[in-house]
Chain A
């Protein structure tokens, strides 16, 4: 399951949907909006995306993961729109039979998203 979404990302909902009988472990990365950036206060962040390209890249990252690690489920979600401090902006989750693959694949997913997926943020200071 991969998506660029305007809806709120609910980690509990995602976890409830990806466990299968073959799953030995689920590794999850949750990115949230932080209240500072380079020393300046942040109240909210607006995320925008080149949506069709971003979703194609998320599918490609899922394929990379499936080619390299033994995994059951891959979830890559990034929210766009205006998010307040503390809200979930990105979630990567990998359910796998063994923890090593789950950790490595989840790390790969978030690093690839941050490096290459066409998403941009614009920070807004408190008024």
Chain B
């Protein structure tokens, strides 16, 4: 198991009820796998998957990106600034 901290914003923060959560991810240690772990814990997240973007250490990256222990990751809902 690998541990990362996931941050939550906008509607996802309301679904998980927290600003940040530690997640334990089995191999392969990727963004996709981290999302799967979260979606098992919060089933309402599943329907969001297609709309989300992954940020690792504050940069957008593909979901198949391999993570490193201690990474700051976030699954970002569609942005709506302006």
Q: Which residues of A contact B (CB under 8 A)?
A: 31, 47-50, 52-54, 56, 78, 89-90, 110, 113-122
Contacting pair B58 A50 (CB below 8 A): yes
Size class of the B contact interface (CB-based, 8 Å): 10 to 19
Contacting pair A50 B7 (CB below 8 A): yes
* Known contacts A118-B9, A120-B9; A47/B81 CB under 8 A: yes
| A-B interface contact total, Cβ < 8 Å | 56
List chain B residues, Cβ under 8 A from A56. Answer: 58-59
Does B80 have its Cβ within 8 Å of any Cβ on chain A?
A: yes
Q: Which residues of B contact A (CB under 8 A)?
A: 7, 9-11, 55, 58-60, 74, 76-77, 79-82
List chain A residues, Cβ under 8 A from B58. Answer: 50, 52-53, 56
